[in-house]
Amino acid sequence: MDTISTSSDTDDTCLRICELLSRSSPDPSTKVGALVLRNYKIIGSGYNDFPRNTNQDPLLWADREEKYRRVVHAEQNALIGINARNAILYTTMFPCSTCCGVIINAGIIQINTFLIPEAFALRWNMSIESSRSMLRSAGVEVKFHLVPSALVR
């Protein structure tokens, strides 16, 4: 069981912004928002989407295999084009193993996310374990937060 961290006002604000960002994702089933913070300044943000200037046909989103081949995850979009060395990442979903590789190599030192929902944990168990293992050995701290009360629907 993951330990719940105490959320600072900054954590709450950043996770709320991530949730707002996630709403921009055109993915009909999974919407993720992420942002990168350094010295209390947002230096990157993103949501899961197909690459810019590529075919955005909803039929491509409906085809799960094709979607997986094309989509750029929120965490990667938030990290593209910035220097994230020693920065903090916020994301609405525990990052997949591919994103964890990018997060580690980008120099992120801490990840803040929501507790992993049980259904998600069961479905993505292997990826979650790979992520946890890599983050642990790379020394990236992971803090789990409760969904801010303002976001509880």
* β-strand pairing of 33-38 with 41-47: antiparallel
Site string for Zn ion, 65-84 (x = CB under 5 A): --------x-----------
SS3 content of the chain, % helix, strand, coil (to 5): 40, 20, 40
| Residue number, 89 or 99, with CB nearest to Zn ion | 99
| Residue number, 34 or 88, with CB nearest to Zn ion | 34
| Residue number, 35 or 99, with CB nearest to Zn ion | 99
Dig out the tokens for 35 from the structure: 């942002």
Tell which one of 18, 99, 128, 142 touches Zn ion (CB under 5 A).
99
Stretch that binds Zn ion, among 2-10, 38-46, 86-94, 98-106 (CB under 5 A): 98-106
Long-range interactions of 117-126: CB distance < 8 A, separation 24+: 120/93, 120/94, 124/96
Stretch that binds Zn ion, among 50-58, 92-100, 128-136, 140-148 (CB under 5 A): 92-100
Strand partners, 110: 88, 141
| Residue number, 13 or 116, with CB nearest to Zn ion | 116
Rounded to 5 degrees, what are φ and ψ at 38? -140, 130
CB neighbour list of residue 121: distance below 8 Å, 6 or more residues apart: 128
Regarding 96 and contact with Zn ion (CB under 5 A), the answer is yes
Binding site for Zn ion (CB under 5 A): 73, 96, 99
